[in-house]
Amino acid sequence: MKKSGFKFLVVLAVSIWLTPFASFAEVISADSAFQSFPPMPIIVTVSDMPNDPGGALIVEWSIPDADSLTLASMNVYQISRSSNPDSEFESITSLVAGSTRYEDSGLEDGKNYYYRIIAFDNDNRLAEGTGGPGVPSGQWFNTGRIPILIMVVLFATTAIGFIVSAKKGYKFYVRPIAGIRAVDDAIGRATEMGRPILYVPGLGTASEVATIAAFTILGRVARKVAEYNTRVIVPNYDPVVMAVCQEVVKGAYTAAGKPDMYDANDVYFVTQDQFPYTAAVNGVMLRQKPATNFYMGMFYAESLVLAETGFISGSIQIAGTDQLVQIPFFVSVCDFVLMGEELYAASAYLSQEPQQLGTLKAQDWGKVLVVVLIIVGMIFSTFGWESFAAWFDVG
């Protein structure tokens, strides 16, 4: 580091020293138009790319002596690289005039790299400079993401705090959500009608949190279904989701003391293609006439096809998704809808464990923080203090 700093100073000093000569040269050359001048110096700085996996350097340059006319006549910068300033430089790229920065990648960590920049007009070298060495390295911490780290830590500690206090017996208030209250009624209705319940876990994979929330709700539904001796049909789009759904339903029957009632053929795989899947679920709705249809998880264009078919077959319909585009259709057709965050809240509500409700409190505090930040941000931006907003400009 010290060495490169020294080098930089040398380059700087040399270029300052050269300045008067360059302008002098310009003066005497005025009467002999074909004489070529010594190229102006380019100050080149090479630095490691911050917050990267490694293997990349940033090369930046400036031409302190160039007036705007000279700059305008330049049309290309040739950039070359070498691991030794005294040996041959290998040309790596050319950039259009006006560039002042190049990001080189694919380098070896821990090695020295030097860069030479040459500016050309149509055929003359106008300016030239060498800089370095730069040593690429990968970082062990992305400083650009500190605000997010703070957010994660803040959220996690608040959530864990509330979970712990819930475990100690602290009771939280949670406001009623219509869609959640409807779940139990819907299962009761199915029992009265002697018809099954259809549970569609959506088109997501098991690694998507919306689908995981759907598992929790399925757990609750299946438990009730087992208690009431009804049947739950779960057609699946993704085989991993199917595997989990089978575990969930089987577990629920076992917990209700009726492991024999579980039928693996009720939690089955249809196909991993959106509309053939939809066609098959439509078929189930029209032929088995479920009393209640649940749509929980990730839904795409099939949402309205499913919901309309469910309406035609006369089922009560409860949907929950965080897919913004599809919520309007569920809202228009279904009887109850869990919108966005409500889906995640529902999984906490329905688990009926106090710790689960603890995180709801943390979510609310998260929103309070957002509200405060938005108001403060608005005031600051309006009064021209931009650095507050800049703090949230995370790459």
Partner 1 sequence: MTPQEWGLYEYIFNGVAALLTLCIFSFLYKDNPFYKFAERLVAGVATGYFTMLLFWTNFMDKVYDPLKAGQWWYIFPAVLGVMMWTRFSKKWAWVSRYSIAFYIGIGSGVSITVYLYTYLFKQLQATIGFPITMDIAGLNQFLVIIAVLSALVYFFFSTPHKGALGFVSKIGIYVIMICFGAGFGLTVMGRVALLVNRVIFLKGYLIQLFGG
Partner 2 sequence: MNIFQKMMQIDRRWVYLAIGLAVIIPSIKSFDVPVTVSPEVKRIYDFVDSLQAGDYVFICVDYDPSSMAELNPMAVAIVNQAFVKDLKAIFVTLSQFGPGLVEQITSQLAANHNKINGVDYAFLGYRPYPAITILAMGVDFSVPFPQDYYGTPLDSLPVMNGIKNFDDVKGVIEITSGNTADFWLIYGNGRYGFPLAIGITGVMSANYYQYLSSGQLFGIIPGVKGAAEYEELVGFPGEGKAQMAYQVIAHSVIIIFIIISNVAYFATRKRKAGLEGGNQ
Partner 3 sequence: MRREIPLVIVFLFGLFMIVQFFIPHRSFAFLYQEFNNWTIIIGIFTMVIGVGSLITVHYSKIRFKKPGWGYSIVTIVSLCGMSLIGLIGGTENELFLNLYRYGLSPVTSTMFSLLAYFIASAAYRAFRARTVVATLLLISAVVVMLGRVPIGQIITAWLPEWLQLQNIADFLLQTPNVAAKRAIYIGVGLGVAAVSLKIILGIERTWLGGDGGK
Site for partner 2, residues 327 to 366, rule: CB under 8 A: 331-332, 336-337
Which CB atom, from 21 or from 275, has the smaller least distance to partner 2? 275
List the beta bridge partners of residue 295: 200, 319
Outline where the chain has alpha helix (H): 2-28, 68-73, 146-167, 178-193, 209-228, 239-255, 274-288, 302-312, 327-333, 341-351, 354-382, 387-390
**Minimum CB–partner distance for residue 222 and partner 1 (Å):** 17
| Structure token pair of residue 327 | 């919520």
CA contacts within 13 A on the Cβ side of 284: 26
CA atoms of 228 and 135, how far apart (whole Å): 69
Which CB atom, from 90 or from 247, has the smaller least distance to partner 1? 247
Q: Is 378 in the site for partner 2 (CB under 8 A)?
A: no
CA atoms of 300 and 279, how far apart (whole Å): 14
Question: Which of residues 164, 178, 240, 372 is near partner 2 by CB under 8 A?
Answer: 178
Q: Is 275 in the site for partner 2 (CB under 8 A)?
A: yes
Q: Is 160 in the site for partner 1 (CB under 8 A)?
A: no
Which CB atom, from 84 or from 332, has the smaller least distance to partner 2? 332
CA atoms of 9 and 324, how far apart (whole Å): 56
Stretch that binds partner 3, among 89-97, 112-120, 141-149, 169-177 (CB under 8 A): 141-149
DSSP single-letter state for residue 66:
-
Which CB atom, from 25 or from 279, has the smaller least distance to partner 1? 279
Q: Is 68 in the site for partner 3 (CB under 8 A)?
A: no
Q: Is 301 in the site for partner 2 (CB under 8 A)?
A: yes
Question: Which of residues 7, 26, 54, 258 is near partner 3 by CB under 8 A?
Answer: 54
CA atoms of 253 and 256, how far apart (whole Å): 5
CB–CB of 122/140 below 8 Å? no
x/- mask, partner 2, residues 92-131, rule CB under 8 A, reads -----------x-xx-------------------------
Query: Among partner 1, partner 2, partner 3, none, what binds residue 174 when CB lies within 5 to 8 Å by partner kind?
Result: partner 1
Q: Is 247 in the site for partner 3 (CB under 8 A)?
A: yes
Question: Which of residues 90, 109, 341, 353 is near partner 1 by CB under 8 A?
Answer: 341
Query: Among partner 1, partner 2, partner 3, none, what binds residue 105 when CB lies within 5 to 8 Å by partner kind?
Result: partner 2
Query: Among partner 3, partner 1, partner 2, none, what binds residue 230 when CB lies within 5 to 8 Å by partner kind?
Result: none
Residue 322 φ then ψ, to 5°: -105, 10
Q: How far separated are the first and last CA of the chain, in Å rounded?
A: 27
List the beta bridge partners of residue 118: 78, 128
Stretch that binds partner 1, among 5-13, 27-35, 133-141, 372-380 (CB under 8 A): 372-380
CA atoms of 267 and 244, how far apart (whole Å): 10
Which CB atom, from 114 or from 215, has the smaller least distance to partner 3? 215
Query: Among partner 1, partner 3, partner 2, none, what binds residue 219 when CB lies within 5 to 8 Å by partner kind?
Result: partner 3
Lookup result for tokens 């000093």:
13
**Minimum CB–partner distance for residue 367 and partner 2 (Å):** 19
Residue 45 φ then ψ, to 5°: -120, 140
**Site for partner 1, residues 233 to 262, rule: CB under 8 A:** 240, 243-244, 246-247
**Minimum CB–partner distance for residue 129 and partner 3 (Å):** 30
CB–CB of 262/249 below 8 Å? yes
**Minimum CB–partner distance for residue 379 and partner 1 (Å):** 9
How buried is 194 (Cβ within 10 angstroms: 0-12 exposed, 13-18 middle, 19+ buried)?
exposed
